[in-house]
Homo-oligomer: A and B are copies of this chain.
């Protein structure tokens, strides 16, 4: 009988942005690396998050032995509760990663039924024929790792997400020594992060943002609001340090922001001096020149804290003339218009808005390796086979081009999600595909509790139907120009459609009446508000969850 082959196949994240998931199989044993989500494209109406279809794993459920997590970003752990609900295997990850996962599992009432194994960098765990070593990497989240997986056919390196930050703010250096050691002994295959493969040079160190943000703190005369990704603990630590240094108390606003900072504090990744913390409800009362706020919503998400504050619709986060708002984050492609709209509103509040404008020192740096760092990884690992991962096709291509200089690399494979790469003693080759796909999840509005989440395959439209409220608004006056119309398909409520729809029209009018004209002029925001309110109403009245897609017409 011939020796088993090693197979690697991504179920997400290759040829698409986000939703990372990679499977390794040797004989009858599979391990899964990461279970991430992605944010839907604008065309995917009424969907909040998208996760990989794991039906292939379910068909081979006996083979799936473990889920290995590289780090705690949503595009690597966002699908974990959905994954474990269907496939209850042991999970391995670092303390901070697992703490974020625990929160998710708790919300899904899964915490008691799953097995989480906490690991530290340099730990090795054995799962069937695989021995997995966790290697510390620098990235925009704390406690991030790459994986060295020893298999009967050789060592597979999977970088997770990384940059090579030579001066990380927490002084936890990238464990390049261990990567070099593996490289010296021989690496069968390298799977490496392609996110920034288009960028020449080096990604600046996380320390690079200090200069500009410190200057802003030094010059600000009133409140300083800063928005960043809520998982950017290094960045948040900087903001805490600067607040302390400039004699300001600091408040955290936004559910994910509060949760993540609490976890980071508990796990000793975030130090907050005694007495520095300000409760959100005390922001209005405190002296404006002694207040700093870290606020969620840097992507202009319609119902996020900062978007609400920008249109003067947040209970605690009040932005007044002379306050400063720092946007310390990148613009995720697709979010430009929403973010620029939010910035326009912030200027209308009279805020001094600081965002990267291409000049001066940055207020945000990327967490992903640029080309020089990617080549450093390639040169240290010296793999026989190189497979770019995590990126759209153009990024995988650009990354592949970087590997061509390296004599040790025998072949470079451009895989897309679902492609199977097969290794044996004769070499490596693409061999077939497994079933992949996307599962869309509609969690209602962003501010709704996550318990309300339901996995909803889009096929459910045939069950719960589709509801399209059509609202005609005059942009300049903000006036609703006619009664809202509601178009439906396949949605019939128990007590007859008409009654519910008439009430639904009232709900829409109420939502509009309770919004300022500034809000009504922001289509993205008003659509989300109408969707959230209608969804709540229809669920309550009919116990159904149709796809709700508001259409705003401007006349």
Identify which of A343-351, A377-385, A443-451 touches chain B. Answer: A343-351
Contact B43 A523 (CB under 8 A): yes
Inter-chain contact A554/B44, CB cutoff 8 Å: yes
Which residue, of A343, A474, A549, has the highest number of chain B Cβ atoms within 10 A? Answer: A343
Pair B393/A440 contact, Cβ less than 8 Å = no
Inter-subunit contact A347/B394 (CB<8 Å):
yes
Closest Cβ neighbor of A201 among chain B residues = B359
Question: Is A468's CB within 8 Å of the partner chain B?
Answer: yes
Bound CA span A343–B346, Å = 34
**Please, which residues of chain B bring their CB within 8 A of the CB of A487?**
466, 468, 487, 489
Contact with B along A34-66 (1 / 0, CB 8 A): 000000011111000000000000000000000
Contacts of A551 in B (CB 8 A): 45, 549
- Of the stretches A24-32, A93-101, A182-190, A456-464, the one at the interface is A456-464
B42 pairs with A394, CB closer than 8 A: no
| Cβ of A367 under 8 Å from chain B | no
Given contacts A42-B337, A200-B359, A337-B333, contact A472 B485 (CB under 8 A): no
Contact mask for chain A residues 120-149; partner B; CB cutoff 8 A; 1 contact, 0 none: 000000000000000000000000000000
Q: List the B side residues contacting A461 at CB < 8 Å.
A: 470, 553
**A498 touches B (CB below 8 Å):** no
When the two chains form their complex, are residues B418 and A458 in contact, meaning their CB atoms are under 8 A apart?
no
- Complex: A198 Cα to B487 Cα, angstroms: 42
Contact between B344 and A394 (Cβ–Cβ < 8 Å)?
Answer: yes
Contacting residues, chain B, for A554 (C-beta < 8 A):
44, 438, 440, 458
Q: Is the CB of A485 within 8 A of B489?
A: yes
- CA A397 – CA B325 in complex, angstroms? 15
Contact B333 A394 (CB under 8 A): no
Q: How far is the CB of A487 from chain B (nearest CB, A)?
A: 4
Indicate the member of A45, A333, A347, A359 with the most B CB atoms within 10 Å.
Answer: A347
Q: Is A238 an interface residue (CB 8 A)?
A: no
Interface flags, A321-348, vs B, CB<8A=1, else 0: 0000000000001101100100110111
| A472–B489 touching, CB < 8 Å | no
- Chain B residues within an 8 Å CB radius of A459: 472, 481, 555
The 15 sampled A-B contact pairs (Cβ below 8 Å) are: A43-B527, A43-B552, A44-B554, A45-B551, A45-B553, A199-B359, A347-B393, A348-B393, A437-B474, A437-B476, A438-B475, A438-B554, A440-B554, A459-B555, A461-B553
- The 4 A-B residue pairs whose C-beta atoms are closest, nearest first, are A200-B359, A344-B393, A43-B523, A333-B336
